[in-house]
Structure 1
Amino acid sequence: MTHHTDLLIIGAGILGLSHAYAAAKRGLKVKVFERTATPLGASVRNFGQALVTGQPPGPMLDLARQSRDIWGQWAQLANLQLKRNGSYLFARTEAEEHLLEAFCAGRAEEYGYRVNLLQGAAMNDLYGGQFRHHRAALHGLDDQQLYSREALPALINYLCRELKVEFHFSTLVRDIEPGQLHSTAGSFRGEQIIVCSGHDYQTLLAEQIAELNPQICHLQMLRARPKVDLNLQHALLTGLSCVHYGAFADLPEAAPVQAQILRDVPHLHEHGIHLLISPTPYGELIIGDSHHYGSDPSPFNAEQVDNWMIELAEQTLGCQIQVVERWQGVYGSRGPGPFSFLRAADGVSVALMHTGVGMSVGPAMAERNITELWGEV
C-alpha cells in the first residue's frame, strides 16, 4: 500500500526531529521512520549540552544562538526539562587562565558572547568553595543542558500529539527514490524525502555520502554518582576543551595550552580526551569523553581511557565518584565542514552532522533546510 504525505524523514535523532518540527509547524504532513523502537544513536548517548559559548564565530555561532531559542520553545511546548543557567569552563593552569582572559577581552566582546570570568573571591564563592582549587571559571550564560534520554521522547510525544507527526518505529527504510520510500512497513509517497541517518553511511544514499569522505567517531562515556552532595546545576568543562572548541582553539593564547597538554599529558591528546560533565535530573553525572576516529566504530572500550576520565573528573569536582554505567557514544565526523545538506536527487536530500554538536546547532540547521525547501512560515 502506498501512502502520500508532504515530507518523509528517515531517522528520529535530533536532526530528524528538528526537521519534523520545522515542517509540521508550517502545516505540512510529516512522517518519520526510525529503525529502532526508540532513538538509540548519538542523540541519546551524549551529554545533553547545547553549547553556544564553544561555537566559533560565523555560521556555527549563529546556528547555536538560534537553536537556543528553539530549545526554549520546546521546553515549554513539550514540557521537557531544560537548564538555562549556563556552563562553567574551568581553567586549571596559568596558560588556560590567560586563554580565557584573552577570549573575554577580545573575541567575546567582538562577537557578543555572553560570558563572565570568575576569579579570586568569585571562584571561592562558587558552589560553596567546591571548585576553589581551579584558577578561574568562564561562565557561559547562554549554554543549556538537558537529559537527552528523556528530552527526545518528550519531543517525540509533542510532535505526535500536537503537530500530528506520524512515527514509524522499528521500521527499516530499505530504499528511496524521488517521491517514494520502501520500508518494512510498506511503501510511502511524499513530495520531499530527507535522510537524517546519523553515522549510517551505507544503508541509504551511500554513493553520494561517500563523496564527502566522512568518518565515524566513537567515544567512551560514563554515568556516575559523586560521593558528596554537589547539587550540581551547571554543565562543566575544563581547559582541555579550549583546544577542541572553535571559539578558543585558533586564538594565539591556545598554543601554550596545547603545548602544555602535549608535554605533560600526551595520552589525553592521543585519545582525544577533554573532560565534560553534565548533571542529570537525578543527582548523577554524565562524564566523558574520548575521541577515536575511523571508517567504523570499534566495539571495544579501553579501561585505561575510562580511568583517565575518572581521574580527571575527580580532580575537577574535588571529590570521588562511583561509576554506575558505561557506554559508547558515536557520531558522524570529519566531513567537508561541520555539517552538510545535500540534494541527492529531485525531492531527495540528506542532512548530516560532521561534528558532535548536533544538539547545539541541529534545531536551527533544520529550520534553515526546511525554509530552503518550502520557504518561510
Structure 2
Amino acid sequence: MTHHSDLLIIGAGILGLSHAYAAAKRGLKVTVFERSATPLGASVRNFGQALVTGQPPGPMLDLARESRDIWGHWAQVAGLQLKRNGSYLFARTEAEEHLLEAFCAARAKEHGYNVELLQGSAMKDLYGGQFRHHRAALHGKDDQQLYSREAIPALINYLRNELKVEFHFSTLVRDVEPGQLHSTAGSFRGEQIIVCSGHDYQTLLAESIAALNPSICRLQMLRARPAVNLNLQHALLTGLSCVHYGAFADLPEAAPVQAQILREAPHLHKHGIHLLISPTPHGELIIGDSHDYGSDASPFNAEQVDDWMIELAEQTLGCKIQVLERWQGVYGSRGPGPFSFLRAAPGVSAALMHTGVGMSVGPAMAERNITALWGAA
C-alpha cells in the first residue's frame, strides 16, 4: 500500500467535488475517484440552478444560502461562469398569483427570502414586454445559475491545479473498508473515505444504503434554441413549481393551485412535470422536466412528455423553440430526508442526496460533513 491520503472520495459529481474542496482548503491530502473519463451523472445533466428561493425554511434554506457564498467564491477562483441575477417564477393564473402574494406577505418576510413580486407595469417592462402575458413574476434575487457541463470541469481543474487534489478518472472502486479502498488503479489508504456515488446504490456500501430505502428519479430534459433572441439572463420557473418546492408547497394558498392543475392538466401531475428553463452561455436553453420514480431508471422516454414540456416552454417564453438535444437526468430520491450522511463503518461514510437540489445545497452540506470529521477550517 504505497498510496496514502487523508481523504479518499468516490465520485466526482458536485457532492464529491464539494467534499474535496472542503477538505483540501484545510490542507488535507485528498484523492478523488470517478469511474468515467469525466463526470456524466446528475451533476452535468441538470439545469445548473442553485436555488435559494425554492428551499423550505429551516436547514435546507440555510444550506442553500451558505452554498450560494461558496459558489460565488468558486466563480472567482475557478473561472466558472455564474449568473447571479436570480430567477423569475411566473404566475400564469389567479391562483398562482395569490400564492406568490401570500408567500411575499408572510413567509418571505419572516424568513428573510430576498424576493420581489413584479406586477402591473413592472411585469410589462420585463425583458421588453416578452413576458407580459403572465400575471406576475416572483424575482428570487439570491438564486444563481451556471452551465453544469462547463462548470463541473472548471471546478475539477481548480481543485487539481490550485488545491492539489489528485484525481483518478476511468477508475472503478470495487470495494471500501476502514482505512482503504481497492480500485482498478490499485489499492489506496486513507484516514477517511466518503462515497459520493449518486444514485448507484449497489456498487459500494449497498447494505447500509439499502436500509435508507432510497429510490431513483428519472427526468426528461431538452436543450433548445428560442426562435427569438431573448438574451435571457435569469432562470425561469412557473407556478407549477410552487406545488413542488417546499418554500411554497405547504402554504394554504398552494391547495387551489394544485386543485387547478389536477382539474385542468392532470397529465402534468401524473408525470411530475413542472417547467424549469435555464439559459446557457451560448444563447440556448436547458428545458425540463418530468419526474418518474422507481428502483431503476427506464431507458425509454415518452415523446408525449417532451411535447408537453415544449408546449409549456413556448407558452412561458412567448415564442417557438427548436430542440437541439434530448437526454435523461437521473438522481437519487425519496430517502429518509432530503439528504443523508451515513456512517457505514469506522472512517467510511456515504453522502447521499434524496432530492434534486444537490447543486443548491451540496457545497454547504459538504462543508458541514468535513467539519464533523476534522473540525472547523
TM class by shorter chain equals over 0.9
1:348-371 alpha-carbon deviations (Å, 9 max, x no partner): 000000000000000000000000
Q: Secondary structure at the match of 1:342?
A: strand
The aligned counterpart of 1:145 is: 145
Q: Does 1:116 align with 2:80?
A: no
In structure 1, how many angstroms separate the alpha carbons of the residues matched to 2:228 and 2:274? 23
In structure 1, how many angstroms separate the alpha carbons of the residues matched to 2:329 and 2:262? 25
- 1:90 Cα deviation from its structure 2 partner: 0.1
The aligned counterpart of 1:57 is: 57
Residues 239-258 of structure 1: pairs in structure 2 closer than 5 A? 239-258=239-258
In structure 2, how many angstroms separate the alpha carbons of the residues matched to 1:325 and 1:14? 23
The one-letter code of the counterpart of 1:35 is R
The one-letter code of the counterpart of 1:275 is L
In structure 2, how many angstroms separate the alpha carbons of the residues matched to 1:176 and 1:132? 56
Q: Does 1:106 align with 2:106?
A: yes
The aligned counterpart of 2:331 is: 331
Structure 2 alignment gaps of length 5 or more: none
Q: How many residue pairs were aligned?
A: 377
Q: Secondary structure at the match of 2:221?
A: strand
In structure 1, how many angstroms separate the alpha carbons of the residues matched to 2:5 and 2:139? 45
The aligned counterpart of 1:205 is: 205
- Are the counterparts in 2 of residues 2 and 186 from structure 1 also a CA contact under 8 Å? no
The aligned counterpart of 2:316 is: 316
The one-letter code of the counterpart of 1:130 is Q
Residues 58-77 of structure 1: pairs in structure 2 closer than 5 A? 58-77=58-77
CA-based RMSD of the aligned residues comes to: 0.4
Residues 7-86 of structure 1: pairs in structure 2 closer than 5 A? 7-86=7-86
The one-letter code of the counterpart of 1:308 is W
4+ aligned runs moved over 4 Å, structure 1: none
Q: Secondary structure at the match of 1:53?
A: coil
- 1:63 Cα deviation from its structure 2 partner: 0.1
In structure 2, how many angstroms separate the alpha carbons of the residues matched to 1:118 and 1:4? 55
Residues 284-303 of structure 1: pairs in structure 2 closer than 5 A? 284-303=284-303
The one-letter code of the counterpart of 2:100 is L
The aligned counterpart of 1:161 is: 161
- Are the counterparts in 2 of residues 193 and 348 from structure 1 also a CA contact under 8 Å? yes
1:306-338 alpha-carbon deviations (Å, 9 max, x no partner): 000000000000000000000000000000000
The one-letter code of the counterpart of 1:183 is S
In structure 1, how many angstroms separate the alpha carbons of the residues matched to 2:343 and 2:327? 34
In structure 2, how many angstroms separate the alpha carbons of the residues matched to 1:85 and 1:284? 17
The one-letter code of the counterpart of 2:287 is I
In structure 2, how many angstroms separate the alpha carbons of the residues matched to 1:224 and 1:72? 27
- Are the counterparts in 2 of residues 196 and 351 from structure 1 also a CA contact under 8 Å? yes
- 1:2 Cα deviation from its structure 2 partner: 3.4
The aligned counterpart of 2:259 is: 259
Q: Secondary structure at the match of 1:182?
A: strand
Q: Secondary structure at the match of 1:27?
A: coil
- Are the counterparts in 2 of residues 175 and 181 from structure 1 also a CA contact under 8 Å? yes
The one-letter code of the counterpart of 2:154 is A
Percentage identity across paired residues of the two chains? 90
The one-letter code of the counterpart of 1:105 is A
TM-score, normalised on structure 2? 1.00
- 1:238 Cα deviation from its structure 2 partner: 0.3
The one-letter code of the counterpart of 2:40 is L
The one-letter code of the counterpart of 1:241 is S
In structure 2, how many angstroms separate the alpha carbons of the residues matched to 1:5 and 1:354? 28
The aligned counterpart of 1:273 is: 273
In structure 1, how many angstroms separate the alpha carbons of the residues matched to 2:134 and 2:2? 61
Structure 1 alignment gaps of length 5 or more: none
TM-score, normalised on structure 1? 1.00
